[in-house]
Structure 1
């Protein structure tokens, strides 16, 4: 079943399910801490239902949102970093290293001819098609996650960051609702008497605030940084 495969697959779990769990963590903690009479029910639900059906749904939702947001990012970045770094016009990778990459790809990728700087300048779209094909070939070559462990880890790191950033608006909305809902309940039940507030309520506040700050400082540039790290590791395969 896809469900159990996803739960035990490191990429699915870390890059897709974990971001979704982080987004809803403050809601779960607040529900558990602020409504004691629901704790037995939540414990049973978490152990029997949540990590199966709901977790599977969250992972798929995380992937879909991340993919949609990625399309927007690619436009802003002027292409995926792995393709962009192969352009003669891009200076991220030094010219000598890039020359080695081009030579390697020209030799190993069937029917591939790397464009010259003049050809790239005359028809950037056609050149990008060639670079995109080169990257696709590299991705197919590096599917062995044991042989290319570092690349696999960078891919997971990028996927996690992208998906979490993509769900940032949802996370901030949920966290705001949890925060103000907790404040209201604190007023109704304890009349803002600090000493009367039990530790679990403060725990709920702490988790909400920590996750909120984490999301606030997670930016598009963070995602771009992870994408560039993954691109560098992928292209370094050409230096094997």
Structure 2
């Protein structure tokens, strides 16, 4: 039943549904739901298989795309929100968060001079600080906003990984629909009107994948999650 948890549904299944939507719509349009028979049963099973198969691939394709993007940009980006040079949060707020995290880690927080003089040692502290934050903010009820931002990042990452599959299925489904209308095979039926409807939906689907599913959207979701992760320190301090 892990497949049905909130993260899996929203960050994996939803991208999967969007990816295979053209094929699903084609199956539904070809079926006769007034007098359902074997073709309709096959279409129903095909839709379910497409859902689970695509959801299973979503995480794998998303992780691979994440690695590809980070490799092209010099590795996983470092979180800088807690550093002295980052202006995302006021200096006093960053100082409170650094001091709290230093106490939890049992390590001295880097000063501005430390960051300039020995940046690698400073980054080791910040890396451990962010790791500690991730491990201690896993309660999705207490840190609901953070959890929602994590889902948003997972959604964009996995959908970006599935983008080539979604675009390919779009054209294949439209081509298959045109072939069904032209050849009128015995196992499927599709009218000109339904073909036009599928064409319109395919155009919207293609536009979304081309302009809405981008590396920029994924990186923006990642940055929003990182900021919310730092803000979760406030809740941890109050609970201490």
TM superposition score normalised by structure 1: 0.79
Q: Which residue of 2 aligns with 1:88?
A: 84
Measure, in 1, the Cα distance between the counterparts of 2:100 and 2:230.
Answer: 10
Deviations 1:80-108 (A, max 9, x none): 46x2323334444443432232122112x
State yes or no: 1:129 paired with 2:124: yes
Aligned equivalent of 2:168, options 173, 180, 186: 173
Measure, in 2, the Cα distance between the counterparts of 1:201 and 1:147.
Answer: 48
Q: Which residue of 2 aligns with 1:193?
A: none
Measure, in 2, the Cα distance between the counterparts of 1:138 and 1:131.
Answer: 10
Question: Contact between 2:156 and 2:221, CA under 8 Å: does it hold in 1?
Answer: yes
Measure, in 1, the Cα distance between the counterparts of 2:88 and 2:76.
Answer: 13
Unaligned residue ranges in structure 2 (runs of 5+): 185-189, 236-240
Aligned equivalent of 1:206, options 200, 203, 210: 200
User: SS where residue 84 of structure 1 aligns?
Assistant: coil
- Change in Cα spacing, 1:27 to 1:54, as seen in structure 2 (3 Å) is closer
TM superposition score normalised by structure 2: 0.79
Q: Which residue of 2 aligns with 1:5?
A: 2
Q: Which residue of 1 aligns with 2:41?
A: 44
Question: Contact between 1:100 and 1:239, CA under 8 Å: does it hold in 2?
Answer: no
Unaligned residue ranges in structure 1 (runs of 5+): 191-195
State yes or no: 1:102 paired with 2:98: yes
Q: Which residue of 1 aligns with 2:25?
A: 29
Q: Which residue of 1 aligns with 2:217?
A: 222
* Runs of 4+ in structure 1 over 6 Å off: none
Deviations 1:133-166 (A, max 9, x none): 1111111211111111111111111111111011
Higher helix fraction: Structure 1 or Structure 2? 1
Q: Which residue of 2 aligns with 1:64?
A: 60
* CA-CA distance at 1:111 after TM superposition: 1.9
Count of residue pairs brought into register by the alignment:
226
Q: Which residue of 1 aligns with 2:142?
A: 147
Calculate the aligned-residue CA RMSD, in Å. 3.0
